[in-house]
Amino acid sequence: MPRVAGIDIPDKKKIFFALQYIHGIGPKVAADILTEAGVNPDQRSNEVDEQKLAQINAILDNSYLVEGALRRQVQQNIQRLKDIRSYRGDRHRKGLPVRGQRTQSNARTRKGKKKTVAGKKGVKAK
C-alpha cells in the first residue's frame, strides 16, 4: 500500500481518487497535485513509481495543510470562537447548528436523538 503524507492510500484505486482519502484533499486539490507532479490521474496508485510518490509527498508538505495539522487548526479556530464568546462559539458550545440553519424541525444531526418531554399530552381543559 503506497504511503502519501504519512497516510496509507488504497492501492487498487486510481491515484486521483486515492489522494482524496487524505483529510484536506478534495477533487480540485488532487487534480492540481497530480498536474504539478506530472502523474496521469487514471493511473492506479500501486502503479505510480516511488519517485513520483516522493514528488507528491514533497508538494503536499510544502503547499498544503493536511491530516493532523488541519484538524488541529480547525479545532483551534473553534476554540477561539468559544473563548471570545462569539455567537458562533456559543452555538458550538451548545451543540446547535452554527451557520443559520433552522432548528425547529430538522437539525437532528447536531442536536442528537429526540428527548421526549413528559406531561404534554394528557392535559384537558374544562
At 81-91, the pLDDT tens digits run 999 999 999 99
- Asked whether residue 10 carries a pLDDT value surpassing 90, the answer given is no
Please name each of the domains of the chain with its CATH number: 3-63 (1.10.8.50)
pLDDT at 126: 62
Neighbouring CB atoms inside 10 A of 96's CB total 13
Q: What is the pTM of this model?
A: 0.74
Instruction: Determine which helix (DSSP H) or strand (DSSP E) holds 7, and give its type and residue range.
Output: strand 7-8
- Confirm if 66 and 57 have CB atoms less than 8 A apart: no
pLDDT at 9: 83
Distance CA 29, CA 47 (A): 21
Q: Cα(first)–Cα(last) distance of the chain, in Å?
A: 74
